[in-house]
Amino acid sequence: MPGERVRLREGTAPGRKRVAVVGGGLAGCEAAWQIVRRSGANVDLYEMRPTVATLAHTTAGLAELVCSNSLKSDDPATPTGALKRELASLGSLLMAAAQEARIPAGKALAVDRALFSATVSGALSAAPEVTILRGEATDIPEGYDAVVIATGPLTSPALAGRLGALVGAESLYFYDAIAPIVEVDSLDPAVVYRMDRYGEPGTGDYLNVALAQDEYYRFVDALLAGGTVPYHDFEEGRFFDGCMPIEEIARRGRESLAFGPLKPVGLTPADGRRPYAAIQFRRENEAGDAVNMVGFQTKLTYPEQERIFREFVPGMKEAVFLRHGSLHRNTYLNGPAALNGDLTLKAVGEVRLAGQMTGVEGYVESMAIGALAGIFTADALEGRPFTPPPPTSALGALLAYVTTPRDPYVPTNMNFSLFPPLATTGKKLKRKLRREAHIERARADVAPWLDRLAPFFRDPGEERL
Ligand SMILES: Cc1cc2nc3c(=O)[nH]c(=O)nc-3n(C[C@H](O)[C@H](O)[C@H](O)COP(=O)(O)OP(=O)(O)OC[C@H]3O[C@@H](n4cnc5c(N)ncnc54)[C@H](O)[C@@H]3O)c2cc1C
């Protein structure tokens, strides 16, 4: 169906500031809510469905969950649990809708997706400051005091092209290729060795695992037999060089991994025995307690990744996964290259990006960046200073990820490796204590920030100033 070009409306409420939020998904709905609850502005929320379809959405509803109905763990001792609590403390519409639509799922926050979407749609439709406009925005809407673009991983091609032209095509990606991240102290130190390629064994930034020939073949066979996530029609067979899933590389020939991401040249360990293949782990965070498996983007299911890597990669028997590997169709920008710290596009003025397009991955992470974009927009409109969340909080750690340069830039979920290092006491904490300390510090540090923001939030029904 051809896209309708969005027609900008003349100011419906003279004197009020007007904001365009493009994309009625998870981030856009949360951003719109935060803007109208924290400022005197009116919001036009543009959603192209059902006029123009995406490759994954199946309804016309706002905040549609395109795949799983789980918003992951609700355990406050986990990073995603902490993120949910911080969002709820900000008066998040989507967190409230999730509680409304909650269905039993153990420690996870799972929802009835139809009720979840209907609750969000109902609240925004009932808000007199919000106008929902159905139609595709093929460009950044003009004539507004501020704009939030939250068109998600399946942004329509016309708008994606426009953003690419603004930020530079090299900063716009259409797939993400994500390698697993594991905790360093869950790797067996008797097996893993430190060494940069062609460097001195025992020194350098990379950790490595050497595989003998029989180990390598067993690993390749396990990969080939591993269960994978089915490809969507629109993803099938469309990989860039350099981001091919490891099991697909293995399918091209038994030796192809050994000549590709597992090539052992320059990685002979101190014992002098040249490995048949080698797996490299690259440092992931400042603390150095998390590493990613270099070149290991994969479509293996999460349980299969854990089973195969633990069973067939020496030194990974007890590996703790902070993030699993994946490969998706996903439109996103190189956040740190394209964005300022307050999520405004460097290339344009009061235009913010929100949601998965900034380089976060996941439902709650997208809502979180939507909430921050909404808060920062409201603060700017009301002349309040930009007040980012502390980097030690879950929201702050996520914001720092999407606005701090890193190479390569790949999307992230919320996980422990995003938190800045703990203050050293000279003593290395055990994993459980370290995790507790991160969550405790996040809770303590975010409290004054939440207190500072609280007076600017009006509950629904409260008169506007
Ligand atoms: C196929 C697929 C499956 C996923 N499964 C999961 C999962 O199971 N769990 C998980 O945590 N995460 C999942 N994700 C990742 C991600 O969390 C979700 O995509 C999430 O919905 C992103 O939120 P968002 O607000 O950024 O984008 P969306 O929720 O996709 O919202 C963007 C909205 O913008 C609209 N839009 C796009 N272009 C335009 C335009 N030009 N004009 C007007 N409107 C426009 C779209 O119709 C859409 O409603 C999945 C992603 C994909 C692509």
The residue type of 271 is D
Q: Which atom of ligand 1 is nearest to the CA of 357?
A: 26
What residue has token string 């790949």? 410
What pLDDT is recorded for position 242? 55
Instruction: Please tell me the distance between residue 375's alpha carbon and the centre of ligand 1 in angstroms.
Output: 21
What residues pair up with 18 in beta bridges, in sequence order? 42
- Yes or no: say if 22 and 147 are a contact pair by the CB < 8 Å rule: yes
What value does the CA radius of gyration of the chain take, rounded to a whole number of Å? 23
Instruction: Please tell me the distance between residue 392's alpha carbon and the centre of ligand 1 in angstroms.
Output: 27
Q: What is the pTM of this model?
A: 0.85
Instruction: Please tell me the distance between residue 177's alpha carbon and the centre of ligand 1 in angstroms.
Output: 17
Site to probe by mutation for ligand 1, drawn from 48, 333, 351, 360 as the one with most ligand atoms within 8 Å of Cβ, is: 48
What pLDDT is recorded for position 1? 27
Site to probe by mutation for ligand 1, drawn from 356, 398, 414 as the one with most ligand atoms within 8 Å of Cβ, is: 356
Mean pLDDT of the chain: 91
List, for residues 13-48, the tens digit of each pLDDT value: 567 999 999 999 999 999 999 999 999 999 999 999
Q: Which atom of ligand 1 is nearest to the CA of 156?
A: 38
Question: If phi over 0 gives left and psi between -120 and 50 gives alpha, with beta otherwise, what is residue 355?
Answer: left
Closest C-alpha to ligand 1, atom 15: 362
Q: 3 falls in which pLDDT band (50, 70, 90)?
A: very low
Residue 234 has pLDDT above 70, yes or no: no
Ligand 1 neighbours by CB, cut-off 6 Å: 22-28, 46-49, 54, 56-57, 66-68, 136-137, 150-156, 159, 232, 328, 355-356, 362-363, 366
3-class secondary structure per residue, the chain: CCCCECCCCCCCCCCCCEEEEECCCHHHHHHHHHHHHHCCCEEEEEECCCCCCCCCCCCCCCCCCCCCCEEEECCCCCHHHHHHHHHHHCCCHHHHHHHHCEECCCCEEEECHHHHHHHHHHHHHHCCCEEEEECECCCCCCCCCEEEECCCCCCCHHHHHHHHHHHCHHHEEEEEEECCEEEHHHCCCCCCEECCCCCCCCCCCCEEEEECHHHHHHHHHHHHHCCECCCCCCCCCCCCCCCCCHHHHHHCCCCCCCCCCCCCCCCCCCCCCCCCEEEEEEECCCCCCEEEECCCCCCECHHHHHHHHHHHCCCCCCCCEEECCEEEEEEEECHHHHECCCCEECCCCCEEECHHHHCECCHHHHHHHHHHHHHHHHHHHCCCCCCCCCCCCHHHHHHHHHHCCCCCCCCECCCHHHCCCCCCCCCCCCHHHHHHHHHHHHHHHHHHHHHHHHHHCCCCCCCCC
Instruction: Please tell me the distance between residue 12's alpha carbon and the centre of ligand 1 in angstroms.
Output: 29
Site to probe by mutation for ligand 1, drawn from 43, 52, 67 as the one with most ligand atoms within 8 Å of Cβ, is: 67
Q: Which atom of ligand 1 is nearest to the CA of 55?
A: 1
Site to probe by mutation for ligand 1, drawn from 4, 59, 363 as the one with most ligand atoms within 8 Å of Cβ, is: 363
The residue type of 208 is N
Q: Which of 103-112, 215-224, 351-360 has the lowest mean pLDDT?
A: 103-112
The rounded distance, in Å, linking the Cα atoms of 144 and 390 is 30
Q: Which atom of ligand 1 is nearest to the CA of 56?
A: 1
The full set of domains in the chain, from first to last, is: 18-176+329-456 (3.50.50.60), 181-324 (2.40.30)
What pLDDT is recorded for position 255? 96
List, for residues 243-299, the tens digit of each pLDDT value: 689 999 999 999 999 999 999 999 999 999 999 999 999 998 888 899 999 999 999
- Yes or no: say if 109 and 102 are a contact pair by the CB < 8 Å rule: yes
List, for residues 43-63, the tens digit of each pLDDT value: 999 999 999 999 889 999 999
